[in-house]
Amino acid sequence: MTGPDGPSETLNATLEQIRLAGAIFFRAEFTDQFTFESAPLAFAAALTPRADRLILFHIVAAGECWVAMEDGIRHWAAEGDVIVMPYGGRYLLGGHSPADPVALALPTPPPWDNIPVVRQGGGGERTDVVCGYLHSEHPLFDPSMRALPPVFVVRLPEGPASSWVRASIDYALEATRPSNLSAAVLQTRLPELLLMEVLRVHLSAEPSSERGWLAALQDPVLAPALALMHGRPEHQWSVKELAAATAVSRSVLDDRFRQVLHRSPIRYLTEWRMHLAQDLLATTTLTVSEVAHRVGYQSEEAFSRAFKRERGAPPSHWRTRQG
């Protein structure tokens, strides 16, 4: 999404205010069949005991895999994709062939002389993944806000950024020195820079990202309303219900949305639902009907009409075009 003054200049400025810290913490070499279960807080506690918010990312360096959170929906990612789980949590990651989940275990506890490598699977086609974490106090990563989906997959467009990311991935996969015993190396800027590029791509398609969306997450009137819509997009929200839940009048809520986000509350809700639907259509195998119900539409027909208005094609055609 672009603003009148160029490609997301305001978005770039607001992203620069986000402070991130983190590290690449292991490499994984999987062979089909594989499914592992991860409890990432254990890793975060070992590496950064003071981190109370965890952002996970997995870079697919080769092959293909899926990731699923508590809802069980599988989001697929291929070579060059970056999987982001902005609020941490338990998850499953697997390949094409079914396999019983196995708890992920690092070879040795930190600190490490070298970046550890996890090898798991049944000996089939190989998938290489670089796994890392970051943490941030920014409201964008506040689990109560749910400003982002619990998991999303991003492919950086061709250009200098994607070339730089690919080169950085190659380095991370091959490098065994310097040692992870060094705090300066452990706090490498690679995860921070990578996630910022991924966020820039993902947020450029968010509703009103160039009109103060990140600022709205900190607004005392808008933040509670956004948290409700983000947390329960399937609910049939009305302006009256949102205003009552945020303890303001309907006119105050509507005025604040229009001042900061340049659209009405219901218009924002429609755009948010379409964004979530687009993610689900692009990265999962849910049917159109299932996607419709997850984003608040009682019928597939109503959802298809709304999606076509917003995206220019019915959901099934849009999904086909995405490959």
State how far the Cα of 59 lies from the Cα of 209, in Å rounded to an integer.
25
Q: What is the structure's pLDDT at 189?
A: 67
Return the CATH number of the domain spanning residue range 9-203. Answer: 2.60.120.10
Q: What is the mean pLDDT of residues 183-189?
A: 48
Which tens digit of pLDDT belongs to each residue from 36-62? 888 655 555 555 555 557 888 898 989
What pLDDT does 200 receive?
A: 81
Q: Where are the domains of the chain?
A: 9-203, 219-322
User: Which of the listed ranges 103-117, 182-196, 231-245 does the model predict with the highest average pLDDT?
Assistant: 231-245
**Nearest by Cα to 292 from 309, 307, 310, 282:** 307
pLDDT confidence of residue 183? 43
The DSSP code sequence of 107-121 is SSPSS-SS--EEEEE
Categorize the per-residue pLDDT at 208 as very low, low, confident or very high, splitting at 50, 70 and 90.
low
- Measured CA angle at 196 (ends 175, 145), to 5 deg: 125
Q: Are 250 and 240 in contact (CB under 8 A)?
A: yes
The residue to which tokens 């964008």 are assigned: 140
Architecture, CATH, for domain 219-322? Orthogonal Bundle (1.10)
Mean pLDDT lowest among 67-71, 122-126, 196-200, 212-216: 212-216
Looking at the predicted structure, is the pLDDT value of residue 218 above 50? Answer: yes
Query: Which of 261, 151, 256 has its CA nearest to residue 212?
Result: 261
Cis peptide preceding 178, ω within 30 of 0: yes
Element counts in the chain: helices (H) and strands (E): 13, 11
Neighbour-count burial for 18-39, b at 16+ CB within 10 Å, e otherwise:
bebbbbbbbbbbbbbbbbbebe
Cα first-last separation, the chain? 21
Contact 116, 108 (CB under 8 A): yes
